[in-house]
Structure 1
Amino acid sequence: MINAIKNLSIEKLTQKLSASVVYAILSSVALNFFFQPGHVYSSGITGLAQILTTISYNVVGRNIPVSITLYALNLPLLILAWLKIGKRFTIYTVITVTLSSVFIHFIPSFTLSTDPIINAVFGGAVMGSGIGYALRSGISSGGTDIVSLYVRKKTGRQVGHISLIFNGVIVIIAGVLFGWQYMFYSLLTIFVSSRVTDAIYTKQKKMQATIVTKKPELVTKTLHEKLHRGVTVVNSAEGGYTHDNLSVLITIITQAEYQDFKYIMKKIDPTAFVSIAENVKVLGRFVEDEAV
């Protein structure tokens, strides 16, 4: 049992680090292949970093690279994540932000199209894919995603919807400084990115697991310790064919916990019958586990 949980932890670590690399690549592609060549301002802190880079020439006499402004803007938000979201979560986010800044700095810009609408749509789709994949893997891409996660933990609202509000303020700044057409291009980018993010990031979706098992005590204890989930136990159930004495367990998990749940059940009771109902509605107290 201990070895099984240890293997699970290693798998989660590998998944998170892989997600950091994937996001870093996708964000750098979105920025250097679409946003920068198309003069489209991205969502969130990345868009704000672009704005600061654009106006930096008038302030300091040269353009500060986006990678540097992006990293500097993320620093106070990383402090917020450390204090309010989770320490391990923040460590992974630091890794993600650092990799992203490095990839953005070293991957050269390449013009695929000069049409700002094409750049806005495809850049937003690529960026949204990176953000959604990162969040689904339990890490943040930094920036306003940290604020969105914090607000979602308090309100339960979807991350993409929260980001849309924060990002709207940023693109208005772009419109005021550089022209309203840039605001509309950026709004298109934000809309596409938020829709793709919500489509990929399904952690907030809840699932009901019904478990028929001969080991109710072990299953209940493990789900409580490893997933921090409560379990409702129905004793004295009987198998219709075998007439064995069984117990029925009912618990609610999130989409993000499903792989861990499946792995745990496979290790502690591979003969159990498990039924999963997706996208269930929950009334009452349901606490999402801390992002790690």
Structure 2
Amino acid sequence: MKNSKTLKLLSEYGQIAFGIVLASIGLKAFLLPNGFLDGGVTGIALLVNTLVDVNISILLVVFSIPFLILGFYTVSRRIVIKSIISIIGLAFFIQFENFATITEDKLLISIFGGLFLGAGIGIAIRNGSVLDGSEILGIYLNDKFGISIGQIVLVFNIILFGITALVLSIEVALYSILTYIVAAKVTDLVIEGFEDFIGVTIVSKKFESVEITIMEELGTGMTLYKGTRGMGSSGKQEDFDIIHIIINRIDIKKMYRIVDKVDPKAFIIEFDVNTVKGGVLRHYLDKKKDKVLPKH
């Protein structure tokens, strides 16, 4: 048990270290040499660095302190400790590594700088840490006032890029916005994964056949709710299964064809799923063993 926890902890810190490397590549090889910014605390540090001759590593740590203090009261201490280690690690790595400037093309700088930075931030967040404190600010204000974290971070960055346009130039601000958009999208992709899952609820008089056909042809499991009464044009029903499944979006057309083949009058509700954890999502059947599903 202790060995598994130790291995898990080492894996988490190893991945965070990899995230730090990616983020530092984005900063040192793309953004810093060309005066471009990102959003959040990193963007503030980069903006101040263009105005005063203060080491970017020091600025990253200093500007992160207020957010880490907020984090102490809004998130777990474990996350705060990991974040302190991560931010200091990023600061040291930026200070001592020397990546050569890869390109001077402004569009490539924005895209690939945001890509590396977003990937690094996303990997850190997946492992219970943050490299940018603006997310912690979002959590705090959401807890106090009920404003969504996304809106808080957006307003935070609108102010930052507005100041950038006034202090530096509109062109730098526009390219920095592009960098922020790329970084944010890549961060979400790393955190949520490449697969896009949706939920489907199916109500059918032929529920037994629908259940079996979905498992056999789509290869996915399901949760069944016991329906006791339903009033509709076909009258009252009792004792039927309501089928609830989570599938990849690419399988949705196939799922509709499967259900339509069994019961064209089935009632189907489709909805977005933000997070999926636990359970088995697809390909439950061991086809190599020719596993046969029991018939009702």
TM-score category, normalised to shorter length? 0.5 to 0.7
Map Cα deviations across residues 39-71 of structure 1 (whole Å, 9 max, x no partner).
Answer: 211221111111112211xxxxxx111001111
Cα distance in 2 for residues equivalent to 1:189 and 1:137: 23
Q: What is aligned with 2:254? A: none
Listed as ranges, the matches of 1:194-213 within 5 Å are 194-202=184-192
Q: What is aligned with 2:237? A: none
Cα distance in 1 for residues equivalent to 2:88 and 2:19: 11
Listed as ranges, the matches of 1:136-147 within 5 Å are 136-147=126-137
Cα distance in 2 for residues equivalent to 1:255 and 1:13: 23
C-alpha spacing 1:173/1:74, structure 2 compared with 1 (3 Å): same
Cα distance in 1 for residues equivalent to 2:3 and 2:159: 44
Maintained 8 Å contact 2:121/2:132: no
Cα distance in 2 for residues equivalent to 1:33 and 1:20: 19
Q: Which one of 35, 38, 54 corresponds to residue 42 of structure 1?
A: 38
Q: What is aligned with 2:51? A: 55
Structure 1 consecutive aligned stretches of length 4 or more whose deviation exceeds 4 Å? 149-159, 205-208, 252-256
After TM superposition, give the deviation of residue 24 of structure 1 in Å. 1.5
Cα distance in 2 for residues equivalent to 1:141 and 1:275: 32
Secondary structure of 2:192 counterpart: coil
Q: Which amino acid aligns with 2:22?
A: L
Maintained 8 Å contact 1:23/1:141: no
Q: Which one of 25, 28, 42 corresponds to residue 29 of structure 1?
A: 25
Q: Which amino acid aligns with 1:41?
A: L
Q: Which one of 9, 18, 22 corresponds to residue 5 of structure 2?
A: 9
1:89 aligns with 2:79: yes
Q: Which amino acid aligns with 2:28?
A: N
1:129 aligns with 2:119: yes
Structure showing greater Rg: 2
Matched positions, count: 212
How does the TM-score come out when normalised to structure 2?
0.62
Q: Which amino acid aligns with 1:127?
A: L
Secondary structure of 1:201 counterpart: helix
Cα distance in 2 for residues equivalent to 1:97 and 1:133: 13
Which 5+ residue runs of structure 2 have no aligned equivalent? 200-222, 226-243, 247-272, 283-296
1:111 aligns with 2:107: no
Maintained 8 Å contact 1:125/1:193: yes
How does the TM-score come out when normalised to structure 1?
0.63
Greater relative contact order (Cα < 8 A, sep 6+): 1
Map Cα deviations across residues 102-152 of structure 1 (whole Å, 9 max, x no partner).
Answer: 001111252211112110110001111111111112211132132234456
Cα distance in 1 for residues equivalent to 2:79 and 2:177: 29
Maintained 8 Å contact 2:16/2:123: no
